[in-house]
DNA sequence: CTGTTAGCGCCTTCAC
DNA sequence: GTGAAGGCGCTAACAG
């Protein structure tokens, strides 16, 4: 399968071959100053030949740093999380930090996760990517004793990088209002009891604000909550269509939800946007394909920014308490004036 | 931001409070035998109260194991990779192993990655998720001295969990042949020079085999290669449509490619399947929504299995050299007899 | 600039 | 069943 490693090369071996102490090797290889260019080069050459690299664990033990950061994501296999993960990765890697990936699935697993804190003693920082959190869980997280950064989630007291969810929602709903809709539904995602997922709550607030500003009374029947998935969106739309007076337009929590809803509309024989308009949030790659009007959020920038904040914190640099990224409406073919 | 940790609790602290030596604490907390039930319980209680956990790094340093495994994925932000990642995670976590996430983007980064091997000395095993590899890179990987597992990629000499790509392709193409198509195009993904990405090569082989079995001569014009993305699929379809005699059916490397191709068809004013049939591979969540005929592969099983193989290897258990997972045709509305 | 001396926090013989 | 000693591989003062 793979060759036996004849007992890995250590710093001592390099030191011996270079005719110096291991302190010097350590200094040379870790790029600290205080080593003559000559010896440094000699050491680097020898290390190269032996294909030796410093053991991060031993190094970390001595210097009290893991050079690792935990990325925690919720259950949904939504595109959003992988996009964020993939955009955090290069930033962290460039700073010599490794990513430990944790995914918490469901309420039970989440409780377990915060009870155990599997990342304890393993990382220098934690990034929570829109993970629903109860106050108790947050407090528990703090006991890890490392900086915590929120990505796509806004929680007071922690550095956050996010969009203005209410604004995003208003951009979507105002668009629908503008083209003439007055009966506008919203499809939300479920919020496990006691935990607050900012995005959903924020977008719902924006939805209600927009309606209120337009003088449209709130109708609870028009707000449906479902799982964050394509099927969730489809189910929600079915539910909305079964109302006595279905909405003429729908604002969906995300594009994936919206695309699920579009399927239900098509199956019900309804035309988009002639019969029902649909707006989502994200600007998912599939949004354009489905000609879906949406509110674009800069997902990759969100990840990159979150990564940068982690890097800065670990460098001791000051970071902004909250970085709000812009969103904007992308009008496509799924919205039009009501029939 | 977070409280200062008043110098983390160590094993010595627990030992002191328990009135035992740290050897005993070590034994008790690591579950080794040789400790009376009474003292073990006492120690566990104290550890709990102090919310103490063994430092994995220090422990690993002494016992020569990192309890970490690297998951390496290629650039594409395709759904496939996140699905695999998410299905590996619980298996590894259950075994007390952490995931280090690496994504190699583009040829330059890949070369750099294999030159540096950033995961060296950091993990007990590596899982490559359908990463294109040159023989030289493979050889380089071996110098890591840890087991390597291939997921979604079949390479001799390494434990692999994958599907039979030629078979999958034939399931798709035979379906098209069966309903009467004779002019069948294929949209492949690009293969950086010198690196072999099994899936693409395998599916292309299957495509050609199916045609050959049907006595249809190979037409190089009908084979197009593009980036692995929605846009790639769209571009490829445009190219196929620009032929003097466009195909009446298209076999796409993946559902995402296929969905991109469907967009081009729609934009060109062509009907699916009346004018052109389309088949993909994966059974992506969006496939059903787009009424796309596809060859389903058990992606989550693939991840889980790969995780299990890693766990078994690290336990010293024997593992099968290659686990082939089944695929099967899912017929939907995107395929029909030629016009 | 370089070497020496102590640990970092834990595991592992080896005695008792 | 438990403790003492030594070491895992490296870094961090402190000398010189």
Instruction: Give the C-alpha separation, A323 to A302, whole Å.
Output: 9
Tokens of B138: 């493979």
Cα distance between residue A97 and residue A310, in whole Å? 10
Distance A127 CA to C10 C1' (A): 28
Residue A99 pLDDT: 98
Mark B125-143 as b/e (b = at least 16 C-beta within 10 Å): bbbbbbbbbbeebbebbee
pLDDT in tens, B82-116: 999 999 999 999 999 999 999 999 888 999 999 99
Count other Cβ atoms within 10 Å, centred on residue B217.
6
Q: Å between A55 CA and D11 C1'?
A: 12
Q: Write down which residues 19-48 in A have CB closer than 7 A to strand C.
A: 19-24, 27, 33-36, 38-40
Is residue A50 within 8 angstroms of chain B, CB to CB? no
What pairs with residue A128 in β-bridges? A72, A150
How far apart CA B335 and CA B267 sit, in angstroms, is: 18
Residue A107 CA from chain centroid, whole number: 19
Q: Using CB atoms, which residue from B2, B55, B260 is nearest to A142? A: B2
What are the structure tokens assigned to A162, written together?
């996010």
**H-helix or E-strand containing B197?**
none
Contacts of B56 in chain A (CB under 8 A): 121-122
Identical fold for domains A66-162+299-325 and A165-297, yes or no, is yes
Pairing of strands B328-330, B293-296: antiparallel
Residues of chain A with pLDDT under 70: 1-7, 192-194, 196
Interface test with A, best of B128, B284, B285, B292 (most A CBs within 10 A): B285
What is the torsional sign of CA A169, A174, A180, A183?
A: positive
> How far, in Å, CA of B43 to CA of B28, rounded?
7
- A79-94 vs A299-315: helix crossing angle, rounded to 10: 40
Q: Is B151 exposed, middle or buried (0-12, 13-18, 19+ CB in 10 A)?
A: buried
pLDDT computed for residue A4 by the predictor: 37
Q: Could you tell me which residues are beta bridge partners of residue B126?
A: B70, B148
Q: What's the DSSP call for residue A227?
A: -
The H-assigned helical ranges of chain B are 11-18, 22-29, 37-49, 56-63, 79-94, 106-116, 135-142, 165-178, 198-213, 230-241, 255-267, 285-289, 299-315
pTM for this one? 0.95
The confidence score (pLDDT) of residue B1 equals 32
pLDDT of residue A2: 34
Which residue from B303, B301, B292 is spatially nearest to B327, judged by alpha carbons? B301
Q: Is B118 on the interface with A (CB under 8 A)?
A: yes
Q: What confidence score (pLDDT) does residue A190 get?
A: 84
Q: Mark the nucleotides of strand D covered by protein, meaning any atom under 7 Å from a CB.
A: 1-13
Strand D and chain B: which residues 13-72 have CB closer than 7 Å?
19-21, 23-24, 27, 33-36, 38-40, 58, 61-62, 64
Q: Which residues of A touch B117 (CB under 8 A)?
A: 53
pLDDT over 60 (residue B72): yes
Per the structure, the residue whose CA is closest to nucleotide D7 at C1' is: B62
pLDDT reading at B198 higher than 90: no
Q: Where are the domains of chain B?
A: 6-61, 66-162+299-325, 165-297
CB A306 within 8 A of CB A160: no
Decide: A195 and A224 in contact? Cβ < 8 Å. no
Which chain B residues in 177-216 lie under 8 Å from chain A, judged by CB atoms?
Answer: none
Q: Which nucleotide is nearest to B121 (CA to C1')?
A: D9
Q: Which helix (H) or strand (E) holds A304?
A: helix A299-315
Residue of B nearest to A50 (CA): B143
Q: For residue B337, what pLDDT is reported?
A: 97
Answer whether any strand C atom is within 7 A of the Cβ of A64. Answer: yes
Q: How far is CA A289 from the centre of its chain?
A: 23
- pLDDT at position B180 over 90: yes
**Under an 8 A CB cutoff, do A89 and B101 touch?**
yes
CA–C1' gap, A237 and C1, in angstroms: 73
Task: Compute the average pLDDT of residues B305-327.
Answer: 97
Tell the residue number behind the tokens 């890697």, with chain if given.
A93
**Are A54 and A84 in contact, with CB atoms under 8 Å apart?**
no
Q: Are A295 and A327 in contact (CB under 8 A)?
A: yes
CA distance B240 to B187: 9
**Helix, strand and coil percent figures for chain A, each rounded to 5:** 45, 15, 40
Contact A71 B101 (CB under 8 A): yes
Instruction: Name the β-bridge partners of B296.
Output: B282, B328
In chain A, which residues have their Cβ closer than 8 Å to the Cβ of B86?
Answer: 77, 103
How far apart are alpha carbons A127 and A72 in whole angstroms?
6
Hey, is the C-beta of A48 within 8 angstroms of any chain B C-beta? no
Q: What is the DSSP letter of A193?
A: T
Q: Which nucleotide is nearest to A64 (CA to C1')?
A: C8
CA distance B305 to B303: 5
Query: Distance between CA B24 and CA B22 in Å, rounded?
Result: 5
Q: What is the pLDDT of residue A173?
A: 98
Using the Cβ of B145 and the Cβ atoms of chain A, whether some distance falls under 8 Å is answered with yes
Closest residue, by C-alpha, to the C1' of C3: A21
CA–CA dist B98, B95 (Å, integer): 9
- The 8-class DSSP code of residue A248 comes to S
Whether the CB of B5 is below 8 Å from some CB of chain A: the reply is yes
Q: What is the CA radius of gyration of chain B?
A: 25
Q: In what order do the strands lie in the sheet with B328-330?
A: B223-226, B184-189, B249-252, B277-282, B293-296, B328-330
Query: Which residues of chain B have a CB within 8 Å of the CB of A99?
Result: 100-102
Q: For domain B6-61, say whether CATH 1.10.260.40 is its number.
A: yes
Mean pLDDT across the stretch B31-53?
Answer: 93
Task: Find residue B269's DSSP bridge partners.
Answer: none
Mean pLDDT of chain B: 93
Tell me if the domain spanning B165-297 has CATH number 3.40.920.10.
no
Q: How confident is the model at residue B195 (pLDDT cuts 50, 70, 90)?
A: confident
Q: For residue A77, which of B258, B177, B90, B112 has the smallest C-alpha distance?
A: B90
Q: Output the DSSP codes for B148-190.
A: EEEES---TTS-EEEE-HHHHHHHHHHHHHHTT---EEEEEEP
Residue A148 contacts B where some CB pair is shorter than 8 Å: yes
Q: How far apart are CA B61 and CA A55, in angstroms?
A: 9
Say if A270 is an interface residue toward chain B (CB within 8 Å).
no
Q: What is the DSSP letter of B27?
A: H
A140 touches chain B (CB under 8 A): no
Q: In a 3-state reduction of DSSP, which class is residue A150?
A: strand
Q: A29 beta carbon < 7 A from strand D?
A: yes
Which pair of structure tokens corresponds to residue A175? Answer: 């668009």
Count CB atoms within 10 A of the CB of residue A146: 23
| pLDDT single digits (tens) B227-259 | 888 899 999 999 999 999 999 999 999 999 999
CA atoms within 13 A on the CB side of B243: 18
B38 C-beta neighbours (distance < 10 Å), count = 8
Residue carrying structure tokens 């988009």:
A272
Q: Are B99 and B71 spatial neighbours (Cβ–Cβ below 8 Å)?
A: yes
SS3 A284: coil
Q: Report d(CA B206, CA A32) in Å as an integer.
A: 55
- Top pLDDT among B243 and B192 is at B243
pLDDT band for B6, please (50, 70, 90 cuts). Answer: very low
Tell me, yes or no, if B49 comes closer than 8 A to chain A by beta carbon: no
Interface residue A242 vs chain B (CB under 8 A): no
For testing the chain B interface, which of A74, A81, A85, A101 should be mutated: the one with the most B CBs within 10 Å?
Answer: A101
What CATH class has B66-162+299-325?
Answer: alpha beta
């Amino acid at each position: 399968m793979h060759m036996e490693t004849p007992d890995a090369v250590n710093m001592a071996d390099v030191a011996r071959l270079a005719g110096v102490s291991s302190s010097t090797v350590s200094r040379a290889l870790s790029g600290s100053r205080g080593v003559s260019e000559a010896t440094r080069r000699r050491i680097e050459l020898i290390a190269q030949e032996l294909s030796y690299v410093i053991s991060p664990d031993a190094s970390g033990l001595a210097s009290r740093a893991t050079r690792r950061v935990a990325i925690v994501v919720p259950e949904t296999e939504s595109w959003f999380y992988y996009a964020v993960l993939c955009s955090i990765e290069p930033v962290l890697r460039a700073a010599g930090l490794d990513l430990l990936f944790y995914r918490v699935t469901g309420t039970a697993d989440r409780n377990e996760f915060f009870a155990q804190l599997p990342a304890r003693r393993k990382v220098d920082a934690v990034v929570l990517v829109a993970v629903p959190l109860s106050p108790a869980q947050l407090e528990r997280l703090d006991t890890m004793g490392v900086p915590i950064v929120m990505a796509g989630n806004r929680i007071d007291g922690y550095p956050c990088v996010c969009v203005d969810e209410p604004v995003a929602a208003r951009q979507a709903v105002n668009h629908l209002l503008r083209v003439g809709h007055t009966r506008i539904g919203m499809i939300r995602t479920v919020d496990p009891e006691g935990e607050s997922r900012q995005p959903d709550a924020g977008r719902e607030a924006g939805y209600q604000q927009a309606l209120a500003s337009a003088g449209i009374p709130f109708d609870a029947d028009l707000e449906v909550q479902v799982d964050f998935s394509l099927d969730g969106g489809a189910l929600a739309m079915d539910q909305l269509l079964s109302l006595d007076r279905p909405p003429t337009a729908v604002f969906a929590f995300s594009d994936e939800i919206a695309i699920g809803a579009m399927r239900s509309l098509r199956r019900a024989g309804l035309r988009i946007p002639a019969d029902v308009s649909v707006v989502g949030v994200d600007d998912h790659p599939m949004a354009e394909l489905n000609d879906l009007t949406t509110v674009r959020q800069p997902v990759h920038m969100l990840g990159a920014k979150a990564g940068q904040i982690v890097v800065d914190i670990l460098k001791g640099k000051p970071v902004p308490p909250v970085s709000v990224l812009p969103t904007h409406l992308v009008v496509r073919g799924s919205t039009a004036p009501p029939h």
